[in-house]
Amino acid sequence: MRLLSSMGSAKEIQQYLKRFSQLDAKRFAVVKVGGAVLRDDLDALTSSLAFLQQVGLTPIVLHGAGPQLDEELAAAGIVKQTVDGLRVTSPQALAIVRRVFQAQNLKLVEALQAVDARATSILSGVFEADYIDRDRLGLVGEVVRVNLAPIEASIRVSSIPVIASLGETAGGQILNVNADFAANELVQVLQPYKIVFLTGAGGLLDGDGKVIDSINLSSEYESLMAQPWIEGGMRLKLEQIKRLLDGLPPASSVSITRPAELAKELFTHRGSGTLVRR
């Protein structure tokens, strides 16, 4: 157990394991995995997730595919256009979006199975969505209802649900949904004990490119957002995390870390990456 030795003391880990094992199994953790992590850090991701399963915990994984979509759409000659950070998605683009999400989802499921972890591919049936603004964004959705049944079925057999952020309208039209938005909706419904965003950077970065240990939104949000070094992506992320935490019980928190640090984040007091509290 190489992962364990790089974490905390055995006693500390046992305390957390005991606490988690007493929870409702489906509320243990939601882990959002950005597309860049699937591309650059798949081995660390799969070993961290497999480790959780070995100790009897089943995280719910929701993934994006942003960089892969950029690449495949560009290869098809579709010029990238975004509105407020959301990808304008035409019918031609959607066909590629669906194919890329499916490929990335299966890549993660197969990588988990290759290290003897049980994982279930969930490409549809979780997010009922509606158009955000059909004229400006095209086939892009916001989640209007979350159906937990496919997730619960997977967790009942201790298989890690691996969910793509595609939505479906009541009329059956598939829509492209931003993966952070989808994660937020899932979290509001599940109210999980742990919420983790896995990113390549391993946390929110300060002006010198160093990971910020912790952020207390109630006292720091306004001053952070006013910093000149807060860039587009991080600004959007922080805004979303604030919105997410506003809808959760006051003691909730969100961790942003990298895949290799996932177990440390979950099983030690000190954690790793950036811890955001309300």
**Interface ranges with ligand X2W (CB under 6 A):** 34-35, 64-66, 69, 86-87, 140, 165, 176, 178-179
Query: Closest distance between ligand X2W and the C-beta of residue 159, in Å?
Result: 22
User: In the complex, which residue's CB is closest to ligand X2W?
Assistant: 64
Query: Closest distance between ligand X2W and the C-beta of residue 15, in Å?
Result: 32
**Helix or strand holding residue 269 (H, E):** none
CA distance 37 to 64: 9
The DSSP code for 88 is P
In the complex with ligand X2W, the residue whose CB is nearer, 68 or 252, is: 68
CA distance 19 to 109: 28
Query: Closest distance between ligand X2W and the C-beta of residue 134, in Å?
Result: 13
CA distance 90 to 75: 15
Sole residue written with tokens 């939601």: 30
Query: Closest distance between ligand X2W and the C-beta of residue 167, in Å?
Result: 10
Q: Please report the sign of the dihedral spanned by the C-alpha atoms of residue 194, residue 199, residue 202, residue 204.
A: negative
Query: Closest distance between ligand X2W and the C-beta of residue 142, in Å?
Result: 9
In the complex with ligand X2W, the residue whose CB is nearer, 53 or 89, is: 89
- Side by side, the strands of the sheet bearing 174-176 are 141-146, 127-131, 166-168, 174-176
In the complex with ligand X2W, the residue whose CB is nearer, 7 or 109, is: 109
In the complex with ligand X2W, the residue whose CB is nearer, 181 or 267, is: 181
Sole residue written with tokens 């030795």: 5
In the complex with ligand X2W, the residue whose CB is nearer, 28 or 197, is: 197
Query: Closest distance between ligand X2W and the C-beta of residue 201, in Å?
Result: 13
Query: Closest distance between ligand X2W and the C-beta of residue 144, in Å?
Result: 15
Cβ atoms of residues 35 and 69 within 8 Å: yes
Cβ atoms of residues 144 and 79 within 8 Å: no
In the complex with ligand X2W, the residue whose CB is nearer, 30 or 57, is: 30
CA distance 96 to 93: 5
| SS3 of residue 119 by DSSP | strand
Give the amino acid at 39. R
In the complex with ligand X2W, the residue whose CB is nearer, 57 or 86, is: 86
Query: Closest distance between ligand X2W and the C-beta of residue 18, in Å?
Result: 33
The total of other beta-carbon atoms located within 10 Å of residue 42's CB is: 16
Q: Please report the sign of the dihedral spanned by the C-alpha atoms of residue 58, residue 64, residue 68, residue 73.
A: positive
Cα torsion through 201, 203, 204, 205, rounded to 10: -60
